[in-house]
Amino acid sequence: LQFLYFIAPHKYCFMNTLIVASAALCTAALPRGGGTCETLKDCNGAGSCVANKCVCDDVWTGDHCTDINFGKPYRCGEGGACLQDNHLGIYSTWGGGVVVGEDKKYHMYAAGFKNNCPLKTWLTNSVVVHLSSETPHGPYAIQDIAINSIGNGTEQWDGLTDHNPAPLKVGPNLYTIYYMGSNSHVAGTEVCSEPTSLKSAEGVSCPSSDPLQNLPVCNQKIGIRYSSSPNGPWKQFPSYILGPGPTGEFDDLFVTNPSAFQMRNGTIVLIYKGRSKEKSGEMLTGVATAPAWNGTYTRASPARTLNVSTNCEDAGVYFSEKMQIFRLVLHCGCNYQYAWSTDGLNWEVTTPQKPWCTVTYDNGTETFSRRERPQWFVDPETGIPSHLFTAVMPTDVHKNQSWTFAQQLLQ
């Protein structure tokens, strides 16, 4: 006897037999719960335990709600931000987040690389590009450069690069972009070379008493820009909002990869990545908070880090109003790792990593060599995530240059 699962309007799958031509959706046809449970933890914070059976929350699936319920993936040109040649000279992007403006349009802010440079120049050529679409999945068309600090001088903390943007609408006609900036005495030349002095921090110590003598990768900090319009202009605080932690902490080398959520009382929960001087090759994910988006950001005390593999990074966070649960997903190479929390400070990791670099379209599959920078788009009307955006590195399209990929989430 086969079981029939309803997974989306007009899309049906048998557990093993496809009855409509929609392989992309059928592959995701896992049960929406049903596993035996006694507590919330048994359903991995992604479902409720009702009469000793897991009932998965929106966009989660599996017997014990262990998997993101992925739906339609959009090819390059069909959705996301897969740019062609344009007047701004930005071809490659590396992940972006989306907010809805008062104009009812969908506005994406993504990392892009000037002078048509590739991803490898993220320490010298990254800017935050503004794109827009009439639909949440896109495709997104480039509009302008929202943040560009390149060439602003070594005195400015983000004068060399602006990267890893995470937009957050914090009120009517009030928009913010959290991002990473860095600087160095090494000038940004806006060419596509990657000097040895700009490469990764793997194994690098940053002992200089003058931070600008360090590699720019060692000088990463987190800042905010804000505007009354999704079209800008974007104003800047006098300085960054979060820098390296105290000596001996997990983030005393640098901080980066911000992802923020605003509670109903205005409190901001900020998830970010840090590295330490002692173990610069290991990535750890921590938590900071602020009483308001423009307040003082303070690390959680005692310091809290997620209990995940040290190759995991790029947390994307959202909050389930229905279950009052924080959820985030990180990338760990070509896998994703899910974590959840009841308070935004203390996080549970109760599921194994899941592969996600191979996606199935209606007429074939594609395998990315990298899939990173996850950001949820939560529909402001329903409060439920409808799409997940990730940065991808293709192997046979878009001149093998990175782009920002959109995938529907099934409810």
Q: What is the pLDDT of residues 268-326, one digit of tens each?
A: 999 999 999 888 889 999 999 999 999 999 999 888 899 999 999 999 999 999 999 99
Q: How would you class 171 by CB atoms within 10 Å of its CB: exposed for 0-12, middle for 13-18, buried for 19 or more?
A: exposed
Instruction: Please name which of 332, 315, 371, 403 lies closest in space to residue 70, comparing C-alpha atoms.
Output: 371
Reply yes or no on whether the pLDDT at 207 is more than 90. no
- For all residues of the chain together, what is the average pLDDT? 88
Give the model's confidence band at 201: pLDDT under 50 very low, under 70 low, under 90 confident, else very high. Answer: very low
Give the dihedral of Cα atoms 392, 395, 397, 402; nearest 10 deg: 30
Would you state the pLDDT for residue 25?
Answer: 42
| Helix/strand/coil percentages in the chain, nearest 5 | 5, 45, 50
Give the model's confidence band at 190: pLDDT under 50 very low, under 70 low, under 90 confident, else very high. Answer: low
Angle at CA 136, nearest 5°, toward 361 and 111?
A: 90
Average pLDDT over residues 96-114: 97
Cis peptide before 207 (omega within 30 of 0): no
Which residues, in sequence order, are bridge partners of residue 125?
Answer: none
Reply yes or no on whether the pLDDT at 141 is more than 70. yes
